[in-house]
Each structure stands twice: as structure tokens, then as C-alpha cells.
Amino acid sequence: MVVEKKEDLKEKLKRELLLEEEITSEQIERVKRFIRFTNKGQIVFVAPREKLPLRDQILLYLLGKRLAREAGLGEKDSASIEEISNGLGADYFQVAARLSDLKTQHYVLSVERGEYIMVFARLNEILDRLETMIKEKV
């Protein structure tokens, strides 16, 4: 058995196991069907929100936070329950309950107590579901 050099192993682990966190042009095209943001980094829904369950509105809000930060329009890519609740005009306790569900299902992570981010590695899966949902309800 040949023992791999530590550097070779490190590079192999990165190449084989590291999740890509860059957004592609195709993903941007898909995302813009649902949300946009203002020059101050506020998330604006362009898809009819009434056709989306609260859990998906939360995911889109957190995605918007991430992309606004990437665009240099926001300082952080996480949001509190209160911020999400206010941003969506939704009940605080319903938002907290949906975030708990999403965390259990590994769609969101709690980066610190009461602050959440979307799991970016699941973006295509989320977009697939949202596109199907919008088509069915149109």
C-alpha cells in the first residue's frame, strides 16, 4: 500500500469532496425568475409569493441575502428570525417553526444563535422544486 503524501491527499480531498459555492450564470438566470434585490440589498420577490409556501419564501429570502452580499450590497449572508419575519410580512412563530423544519431537513444552517443561512449546495434542488411549483400553480 502506497502512502500518499499529505499535500497530494489534501488536493485530492479538495478536488473530490469540496462543494462548489460559486453561483453559475445558469443559476442566476433561474434565480431572477423568483427574486431580485434593490441597490440597498433588500430582497424583492418577482414570483407571486402567494403561490409559494412559507418555507420556500424563507429559502428565497436567505438566498437573496447570500447573493446580495456576493454583489457587495449587504454585509452578511445570514438573517435572524425577526428579520425574515419582517422581510416577508409573516408571523414570527411560523417563520421560527419553518426554519426549524428546514434546519432538520438540512436546507438551512444556524451560524449562530438565531441567525440562519441557506445551504448553498442545495440550490439546484431548491430551484427545481420552485420551478415545478410555479408551473403547476399558474
Count how many Cα atoms sit within 13 Å of the Cα of residue 82 in the half-sphere of its side chain: 2
Q: What does the alpha-carbon distance between residue 123 and residue 119 come to, in Å, rounded to a whole number?
A: 7
Bigger pLDDT: 39 or 54? 54
* pLDDT (tens digit per residue) in 113-138: 989 999 999 999 999 999 998 877 65
Pairing of β 108-112 and β 79-80 = unpaired
Mean confidence (pLDDT) of the chain = 89
Bigger pLDDT: 50 or 99? 99
* pLDDT (tens digit per residue) in 68-119: 999 999 889 999 999 999 999 999 999 999 999 999 999 999 999 989 999 9
Q: Which three cell numbers stand for residue 121?
A: 449546495
pTM of structure: 0.84
Q: For residue 37, how far is the Cα from the chain centroid? A: 14
pLDDT at 7 over 80: no
Bigger pLDDT: 137 or 42? 42
- The domain segmentation of the chain, as residue ranges, is 25-126
Fold of 25-126: Arc Repressor Mutant, subunit A (1.10.10)
Q: Strand, coil or helix: what is 80? A: strand
